[in-house]
A and B are shown apart, each in its own frame.
Chain A
Amino acid sequence: MAAIYSLYIINKSGGLIFYKDYGSAGRMDTNDSLRLASLWHSMHAISQQLSPVHGCSGIELLEADTFDLHCFQSLTGTKFFVVSEPGAQHMDGLLKQIYELYTDYVLKNPFYEMEMPIRCELFDINLAQAVLKDRVALLGR
């Protein structure tokens, strides 16, 4: 059983720049993931408008019937979100770790163009390791 089902990274205008599936049921094609990502971008923005008090920075955790969605927004507006099992505890840490990998292997890559889809081998390798480590840690708990 996977600890996280999938990972999305969207740029500051809501375009999907990275998507990885870790074993969710059913098929999701590229169009679906793109539309889900931009839908999430808008829902995130609307949730800020509906806040009853000042200083809202958007949805951090969405609890659905069969999964949890944890979202982390970086200072530049790039959003990272993972779909995990309901009640998964350590997702904030994992998101920060993924953000770190993104800054190290994507942003520091001289061939990467900002706001464009991520195609960096080193990022893929290190991400796979981080997710695997997270899964092992979950099994050990």
Chain B
Amino acid sequence: MQFFGGSEISPSPPLPTASGNNGHMMYVFNRNGICLLYREWNRPLHTLNAQQDHKLMFGLLFSLKSLTAKMDPTSVDKGNLGVPQLPGQGCSFHSFRTNTYKLSFMESPSGIKIILVTHPRTGDLRESLKYIYNLYVEYVVKNPLYTPGTPIRCELFDSTLDQYVRGLG
């Protein structure tokens, strides 16, 4: 688990690799599993209602994390399957790919989870997620009117995020 350096926002976002508009949707969860933010750019298929969808997504990430922690072939002491772990503890994952989408995942040391769903051919988005985390810190955490643990309603954050994700390769 890496920490994210100083408090200054990184001056230039990672360069987009190709023409953009690849983003499908994005989720931000806090460590209690509350969905702080859900943005949708291109999602023709809805199988569930919004609340159920968020729950399923959080459950998927939680279980995949315990799966990777248990499966980790490089560590000797892995503990038991399903025992909850702190952020940064155990082997985590940063993305998975299916034939129709790619999900990139980042967890901050405080347990904020950022999930970005994009086109399956998108490259490594770890740096982009860090940049989005920086945006979150700058526009949301530093906003005096924001109460931690509540859904994010911040116009400036939304518009900056939209603009950034549209430019992603």
CB neighbors of B among A1-35 (8 A): 5-6, 24-26, 32, 35
Contact assessment for B75 and A25 in the assembled complex, using a CB-CB cutoff below 8 Å: yes
Partner among B67, B94, B99 whose Cβ is within 8 Å of the Cβ of A36: B67
A6 touches B96 (CB 8 A): no
- Residues 38-59 of B, flagged 1 when their CB comes within 8 A of A and 0 if not, give 0000111101100001001101
Shortest beta-carbon contacts, A-B, top 7? A24-B73, A5-B73, A52-B24, A64-B93, A64-B68, A52-B43, A56-B100
Of the A-B pairs whose beta carbons lie under 8 Å apart in the complex, a sample of 10, sorted by A's number, is: A25-B74, A25-B76, A43-B60, A49-B56, A53-B43, A54-B44, A56-B98, A59-B96, A63-B95, A65-B92
Verify A55–B93 contact, CB threshold 8 A.
no
Q: How far is the CA of A61 from the CA of B81 in the complex (A)?
A: 21
A64 with B100: in contact, given A32-B70, A49-B48, A52-B43 (CB under 8 Å)?
Answer: no
Interface centre among B56, B60, B77 (most CB of A within 10 A): B60
Query: Does residue B152 face the partner (Cβ distance < 8 Å to A)?
Result: no
Q: Is B71 part of the binding interface, using a Cβ–Cβ cutoff of 8 Å?
A: yes
> Given known contacts A43-B64, A65-B93, is B100 in contact with A50 (CB within 8 Å)?
no
Closest to B60 in A: A46
Q: How far, in whole Å, are A46 and B35 apart by their CA atoms in the complex?
A: 18
Assess the B76–A42 pair: CB atoms within 8 A: no
Q: Chain B residue with minimal CB distance to A35? A: B81
Beta-carbon contact of B70 and A66 below 8 Å = no
User: How far does the Cβ of B101 sit from chain A's closest Cβ, in whole Å?
Assistant: 6
**Contact between B72 and A66, CB atoms less than 8 A apart:** yes
B117 at interface, CB cutoff 8 A: yes
**Residue B97 is within 8 A (CB to CB) of chain A in the complex:** yes
Known: A32-B70, A60-B99, A83-B73. A52 touches B91 (CB 8 A): no
| Contact in complex: B93, A62 (CB < 8 Å) | yes
* Min CB gap A47→B, angstroms: 6
Contact call A62/B64, Cβ cutoff below 8 A:
yes
B63 lies within 8 A of A39 (CB): yes
Residues from chain B with a CB closer than 8 A to the CB of A26 are 72-73, 75-78
Distance between A62 CB and nearest chain B CB, rounded to angstroms: 4
CB distance from A44 to the nearest CB of B (A): 9
Contact A43 B67 (CB under 8 A): yes
CB of B36 within 8 Å of the partner chain: no
* B37 on interface, CB distance cutoff 8 Å: no
A123 within 8 A of B: no
A105 CB-CB contact with B under 8 Å:
no
Interface centre among B43, B78, B92 (most CB of A within 10 A): B78
Does B101 contact A53, Cβ atoms closer than 8 Å? yes
Q: How far does the alpha carbon of A63 sit from the alpha carbon of B97 in the complex, in Å?
A: 8
Min distance, Cβ A83 to any Cβ of chain B, angstroms:
6
B71 x A54 contact (CB < 8 A): no
A51 on interface, CB distance cutoff 8 Å: yes
B48 with A66: CB separation less than 8 A: no
